[in-house]
Amino acid sequence: MGACALRGAITALVTPFTPDGKVDERALRALVAWQVEQGIDAVVPVGSTGEAATLSLAERERVVAITAETVAGRVPVIAGAGSNDTAVAIENSRVLGAAGATHLLHVSPMYSKPPQRGLVAHFRAVADAAPLPVVLYNVPGRTASNMTPETQLALAEHPNIVATKEASGNIEQIAEIIRGRPLGFAVLSGDDSLTAEVMSLGGSGVISVVSNAVPAAMHALTVQASRGDVEATRAVHDSLASLFEAAFVESNPMPIKAALALMGRMGNVLRLPLVPLDPRHEPQLRLALSSAGVVLS
């Protein structure tokens, strides 16, 4: 599947855990199957929403394998393979590619804070070695460094770098990337609340957190936005606006896992240092889910 396949509503999957903290394979299969049935356009296992930082490589390999097996070729599987160690990022790419991914999501190296030329060197080395097409992931709030438009556009010229997930929240930066991108390079919003705005500028879609709970609605949002139907897009966006806010009242994926637990889709289990959502936020979350049309179990 090439770059043209990366568009629409793409779910950054949570990783369900059993009460004793192991990967809940049954809940994972059910979640992925439901996502595809609801019309989601692609899935991203073992990204930051999937708590990849606290999964071993063997666990990430297993999650990707289960996801790919459940998807069965119906939508792309974009596996989170990033690391701030370039050699590890390359090894992750090899392992997760062999597990069944169709694309690889590589986050900008966190903690190390390389200069822009270091980011270019890192991503080019990864893309040269990766067995599958690479999606850049710029999320300054987690990595403490921003990939500038100039850096992302330079990397977009690499034949094996096919898209960027832009979570800087900077609309002017995103617009600059969209204006300067090569043909076929997908620009995906990394923020649910900015989906309609990014797509109105020519973006290709969103890698979404809230679509874990409302895949059909997020798919509908991207469909209407891609058609340029402003009124229909606004109507869907407005129905989801409260959920966009509630999903980030504490660190992701704490709120969305609480939402999925309220929906009866998995236990509200996270790995330390993440903890379950503060109970004081539950009324807001319940109201937001109701506003989005979700019937709680």
**CA 273 remoteness from chain centre:** 21
Residue 111 a catalytic site member: no
Q: Which of 22, 111, 113, 137 is catalytic?
A: 137
Q: Which of 22, 113, 165, 257 is catalytic?
A: 165
- Gap between the Cα atoms of 280 and 253, Å rounded: 17
Q: What angle do CA 112, 113, 114 make, to 5 degrees?
A: 95
Is residue 137 annotated as a catalytic residue, yes or no? yes
Catalytic site positions: 137, 165
